[in-house]
Amino acid sequence: MELTDSGESLAVVHDGVELCRYVYRPPEPAIESPRPYFYPVRTLNGDEVAIYRPHDHVWHKGISWSLPHVAGQNFWGGPTFVRDRGYVQLDNNGSVVHRSLAVEGTTVTQGLQWLTADGSPWFEEERHLQLSTVDGAWSLTFATAMRNVSGNELRIGSPTTEGRPNAGYGGLMWRGPRSFTQGEVITPDATGGDELMGTRAPWLAFRGRHDGTGRTSTLVFVDAPTNPGHPVEWFVRTTPFACVCPAPFFSAEVPVAPEETLTRTYSVVIADGAPAPEKLASMFT
């Protein structure tokens, strides 16, 4: 793998295929809660497995660490779910701002600052990315350490903690391509679709097919055993669109005290075809 820094993004190339681009200086408007994201995302064979700014939710971008409910601030993008009111566009869209970057081989260390809509710093984040090829696929390991510098307790939740059932999204969110709609969801104990929303499992896989070629790709998302609350609850949909999010704030708010550091680590394995997901997951559990 080769990583090339443009000053705004990192391109990850392997055997002539751009596997992903990590956009760390996002150009999107404030209403979309600008934050770093991975897009495009491709398999080793070059098949695209993510989407960017879909018309239904333009704030969805490939793979990104996104939090919709942080003590009244929205670091997800778009409207905020408000109890007894539904989704309302508020003046609360924060941003995650790049501060520093170090690249050593296929390891990336980044410093970021989380700013509220009025520019107040709430978190100082250190983010680590590790990229590698694994057993005919490739993997991204994402680790974050977010220190609360706001001076106040900050509670991180989801639309579900605000009163909307089965809407516990918030965390490392993946939005799949349109052709992955009605794809297959696999966990250690079940295979199915939207009925697996809210499942607790150490890993979850999503398998879909591509328009044009009809080829299949499989993504395996792994919750690190060291994460608090492991195994995590999963936010997953196959309709009306494909998405997966290990959701540590799904059903209960997580308080972060002043100067406390919240940490989470996840791995994503991106594979051509339909390999056994448990074998890919086992490398990270």
**pLDDT for the residue 223:** 98
DSSP 194-238: GGGTT-B-SEEEEEEE-TTT--EEEEEEEE-TTSTTSSPBEEEE-
Provide the mean pLDDT of the chain. Answer: 98
Q: How far is residue 73 from each of residues 14, 30, 152, 153, measured CA to CA in Å?
A: 38, 13, 14, 13
Mean pLDDT for 5-22 is 98
pLDDT in tens, 56-69: 999 999 999 999 99
pLDDT in tens, 76-104: 999 999 999 999 999 999 999 999 999 99
Q: What percent of the chain has pLDDT over 70?
A: 100
Structure tokens at 66: 């996104």
**pLDDT for the residue 200:** 98
**pLDDT for the residue 212:** 96
Element spanning 280, H or E: helix 277-281
Nearest to residue 71, comparing CAs of 228, 262, 255?
255
Q: Measured between alpha carbons, how far is 141 from 133 in angstroms, rounded to an integer?
A: 11
DSSP 112-170: EEEE-TT--EEEEEEEEEEEEEETTEEEEEEEEEEEE-SSS-EEEE-TTTTT-TT----
Going 59 to 63 to 67 to 73, the CA torsion angle's sign is: negative
Please work out, in degrees rounded to the nearest 5, the angle formed at the alpha carbon of residue 60 by the alpha carbons of 54 and 63.
Answer: 120
For residue 276, pLDDT over 90 is answered with yes
Nearest to residue 57, comparing CAs of 250, 244, 249, 241?
241
**pLDDT for the residue 140:** 98
Q: Measured between alpha carbons, how far is 229 from 250 in angstroms, rounded to an integer?
A: 11
Q: What percent of the chain has pLDDT over 90?
A: 99
**pLDDT for the residue 243:** 98
**pLDDT for the residue 285:** 86
pLDDT in tens, 183-239: 999 999 999 999 999 999 999 999 999 999 999 999 999 999 999 999 999 999 999
SS3 279: helix
Domain boundaries, the chain: 2-284
* pTM of the entire predicted model: 0.97
Structure tokens at 48: 């695209």
145 φ/ψ sector (left φ>0, alpha ψ -120 to 50, else beta):
beta
For residue 135, pLDDT over 90 is answered with no
**Fold type of domain 2-284:** Beta-galactosidase; Chain A, domain 5 (2.70.98)
